[in-house]
Amino acid sequence: MQSILLLIAIFALGGCATQFPVPDTLGDPKNASSYGYHPLDPLPVNLTIDKAKVLDAMPDETMRIAVGTVSGDGGITFGPAKLGAEGKNYVVVLDYIKFATDSFGVALSAKNEKGNRVATLVKASEAATANAVVPVYVGVGLRLTADIYVKKGSINLGNLFGLGVAAKAEQVSGTLVIQTLGVSGPEVSGLIPMPGDISESTIQNAILALASIKAKIYDSKTSITPRVVGVYNNLGGGEATINGFISSLLQQPIPFPRASK
């Protein structure tokens, strides 16, 4: 089945019912890896509570490594950690996020003549028309991103320090990006290193810096601004669907928390 095109026709994410029938399988073995968690560059939300209460509204914390394969057209498909093959490009993302899980409803059309479905965001008042719920993760956090090109051999992409060793052996080349997600302040800015290419020392320094910044999240001098930091793609369709999610969240930022107390 071909990729889903997420066309945005209705924008109103003020709330939606939580019980919807699970849609039919929308992917095939070729696209199976396009399902699952997908880290996003921070997207805005409409904050509905006082900033002093923001951290209390994000009860969950997690750290994860996401490995993405870069296709020839620049699209990224995230899947489980795996070996990197010679001559291919990958993205490895180490995420720490403190978050709450929100959602928006999606109505899926019947297949058209080309075998595609159209996914449309639905208004809160029309929640009964939704037949799928897409989880989004709203919170703050820290992220280390390694853009990797495997020059020779195969590499364990789930081992960050192993990537440094491989770079020293000239098996891989690439760059590191260190990023805060909704966390800022004068002391935070001073802790962010400026890495060059990938090496054992730059990876070690980056992880130490992220640990130091993490310790300052509850500091009164640290500014906390919730962002949409990830989405769980349960529709399939890979990059086309993710781009649709991003477009919708930019055009109509979701309120956070959904109902303030």
pLDDT digits (tens, 9 = 90+) for 122-154: 665 566 777 778 888 999 999 999 898 999 988
Q: Give the pLDDT band (50/70/90) at residue 235.
A: confident
Q: Give the pLDDT band (50/70/90) at residue 255.
A: confident
> Residue 42, exposed/middle/buried by CB under 10 A (0-12, 13-18, 19+)?
buried
Residue 219 has phi, psi (to 5 degrees) of: -65, 140
Q: What is the pLDDT of residue 219?
A: 92
pLDDT mean over 233-261: 76
pTM of the entire predicted model: 0.76
Q: What is the pLDDT of residue 81?
A: 57
Pairwise CA distance, residues 200 & 247, whole Å: 37
pLDDT in tens, 184-206: 999 898 898 877 678 888 888 88
| Buried b or exposed e, range 86-117, using 16+ CB within 10 angstroms | eeebbbbbbbbbbbbebbbbbbbeeeeeeebb
Q: Which one-letter amino acid corresponds to residue 124? A: A
Of 42-56, 63-77, 137-151, which gets the smallest average pLDDT? 63-77
Q: Which one-letter amino acid corresponds to residue 209? A: A
pLDDT mean over 7-34: 36
Residue-range domain boundaries for the chain: 5-253
91: β partners: 68, 147
Instruction: Answer left, alpha or beta for residue 211, where phi above 0 means left and psi between -120 and 50 means alpha.
Output: alpha
Pairwise CA distance, residues 108 & 221, whole Å: 45
